[in-house]
Amino acid sequence: MKVNRRAFLNGAAATAAGLAASGGFSASARADAPIKVASIHDLSGGLDIYGKPMVDALTFAVEEANAAGGLLGRKIELLSYDPQSNMQLYTQFATQAALKDKVAVVHGGITSASREVIRPVLDRFKTLYFYNTQYEGGVCDRDQFDTGVTPAQTVEKLVPYAMKKWGKKVYVIAADYNYGQITSQWVKKYVQENGGEVVAIDFFPLDVTNFGPTISKIQAAKPDFVSSALVGGAHISFYRQWAAAGMRTRIPMASTTFAVGNEHIVLSPEECNGMLVCYNYFQGLKNKTNEAFVAKFHKRFGADYPNITELAMGTYQGFWLWASAVKKAKSVDRMKVIEALETGISIDAPSGKVTIDPPTHHCILDVHIAEVKDKNLVVLENFPQQKPSDTAAVCNLIKNPTDNQQYVIKI
C-alpha cells in the first residue's frame, strides 16, 4: 500500500476520532463501574480472632447496600486484603489499595500499631481512612475517622462502677504496646479521681503464657479488684490460670478488652463469670434495629455464629457512616465525603444512635456496662450518647484542619 501525505492525515484523524470516542465511552463506563471499598484486617495469624468477625460484618454491610441498589446507582465492590498479623504487609496493602486499586475508602487496622502504620500511607496518597476499633484515643487527622469507643467513653464509666461495687484498691495488668500502656494510664487517672489507689501496673509481652509469678504478686498485693487490658490469644491463659488458682471467686475483675475476641466463649463459665466489661455494642442489646440486624446476620452466617463482637459492629457502623456521607455528598470524592461527614452525620445503628463528632472525627454513641454470665454478656447499665471527650480535649480539626498526629494525653 502506498502512503501519501493526504492518506496519512486522513488515517490519523480517523484514529484520533476513534480514540476520543473510545475515551468518551470508557468515561461513561466508569460512572457505572463499581465503587471499590478496601478492607485491611488480619484474617490469619495471632490477631485473626479479632479480624474475622470484622470482615464478616463488612461483607454483610456491603451485601446489604448492594441489595438496596448500591450507592449513587453503582454497585459496591469489596476488596479484602489479609495482612496476616504482619505490620509490613499493612504498608504494602495500604499502598496497593490507594495506588493500584484506587479505592474510595479503606476500612482497616486492628491494633493501634497497625493503624499507625497505614495512617501515614493513606494520608500521603489521599485516600479516606476509617479505623473501626475501640482504642486508646487521641488520633487527630482530617483524612481519618474513628468509629470505636475511647477511654473517656468506657473506662470513665467502668472504673467508678467497679470501685463502687468492689472497693478502691486496684491492680492493673495490660498488654505491652501502645494500647495497653496508654489505657493503663487512663485506668489510673479514673481510679485516682474516684478516690482510689492503683497498687501496681504490670505489662506483658503478647506471647507470654505463664502467669504464675504475677498471680502470686497480685495475691500478695491484695487488691479489691483487678483491671485487665490483656490482648490476643496467648493472654487468654491468664484468666485460665487465675481461675485454676481459685482466685476468680476471691478477687473480682473488670476489663477493657475481654470478650472483644470472644474470650467469654473460649473460656468456661467457671473461669470468667462475673467479669465486668464496657463497650458500645453487645449482641443482646434490646432494641428493634438490633433484633432485626441479629436475625438477618444469623440468616447470612448461620445461627451458630459465635457472637457479633464490638469490633464487628464498629466496622458495620463505620461502613454505614461512610455510605450515608456518600449519599449526602452525591459523590465518592474524598474531600466531598469528608465534608459531608463533618456535617455531623448520624445513623440509627444496632448499638443505638451513632453520630460523627466533627471536631475530632470520632463518634458520639451509647455505651453499656455488662457482666459475663455463662458465655453471655448481660447488660447491667446504659449510658446514652457519650462524647469522645478525651480526644476533644486536644484535637479540633475544624480549627486546625491540617493537624495530623496522635496525641498522647497527659494524665
CB 406, CB 116: distance < 8 Å: yes
Residue placing its CB nearer to another protein in the complex, 24 or 274: 274
d(CA 319, CA 63): 11
- Does 214 engage in binding with another protein (CB under 8 A)? yes
CB of 295 to another protein, least distance (A): 21
Taking CB under 8 A as the criterion, the residue among 207, 291, 348, 374 binding another protein is: 207
Residue placing its CB nearer to another protein in the complex, 237 or 289: 237
CB 263, CB 242: distance < 8 Å: no
**Binding-site string for another protein from residue 47 to residue 66, where x marks contact by CB under 8 A and - marks none:** -xx--x--------------
The grid coordinates of residue 154 equal 468506657
Which range in 7-15, 54-62, 70-78, 267-275 contacts another protein by CB under 8 A? Answer: 267-275
CA 246 to chain CA centroid, nearest Å: 34
- Does 237 engage in binding with another protein (CB under 8 A)? yes
Residue placing its CB nearer to another protein in the complex, 158 or 308: 308
Quick count: other Cβ atoms within 10 Å of Cβ 380?
A: 13
- Does 294 engage in binding with another protein (CB under 8 A)? no
Can you tell me whether residue 100 is helix, strand or coil? Answer: helix
Q: Which residues contact 183 (CB under 8 A, 6 or more apart)?
A: 136, 151, 155, 174, 229, 256
Cell 451458630 appears where? 304
Residue placing its CB nearer to another protein in the complex, 265 or 292: 265
- Does 310 engage in binding with another protein (CB under 8 A)? no
- Does 45 engage in binding with another protein (CB under 8 A)? yes
CB of 250 to another protein, least distance (A): 7
Taking CB under 8 A as the criterion, the residue among 70, 233, 358, 359 binding another protein is: 233
Subset of residues 238 to 257 that bind another protein, contact rule: CB under 8 A: 240-241, 243-247, 250
- Does 11 engage in binding with another protein (CB under 8 A)? no
Taking CB under 8 A as the criterion, the residue among 161, 203, 301, 383 binding another protein is: 203
- Does 236 engage in binding with another protein (CB under 8 A)? yes
Quick count: other Cβ atoms within 10 Å of Cβ 400?
A: 12
Q: By rule CB under 8 A, what count of residues binds another protein? A: 44
Return the amino acid letter for 203. Answer: F
Strands 76-81, 128-131: pairing is unpaired
d(CA 315, CA 401): 25
Which range in 43-51, 62-70, 101-109, 312-320 contacts another protein by CB under 8 A? Answer: 43-51
CB 135, CB 150: distance < 8 Å: yes
Cell 456496662 appears where? 369
Which range in 60-68, 136-144, 263-271, 365-373 contacts another protein by CB under 8 A? Answer: 263-271
CB 207, CB 235: distance < 8 Å: no
Can you tell me whether residue 241 is helix, strand or coil? Answer: helix
- Does 267 engage in binding with another protein (CB under 8 A)? yes
- Does 274 engage in binding with another protein (CB under 8 A)? no
- Does 212 engage in binding with another protein (CB under 8 A)? yes
Total count of residues recorded for the chain = 411
d(CA 382, CA 282): 11
- Does 205 engage in binding with another protein (CB under 8 A)? yes
Strand partners, 355: 346, 364
CB of 176 to another protein, least distance (A): 6
d(CA 317, CA 320): 5
- Does 88 engage in binding with another protein (CB under 8 A)? no
Q: In the complex, which residues of this chain contact another protein (CB under 8 A)?
A: 44-46, 48-49, 52, 176, 202-205, 207-217, 219-220, 233-234, 236-237, 240-241, 243-247, 250, 262, 265-268, 270-271, 306
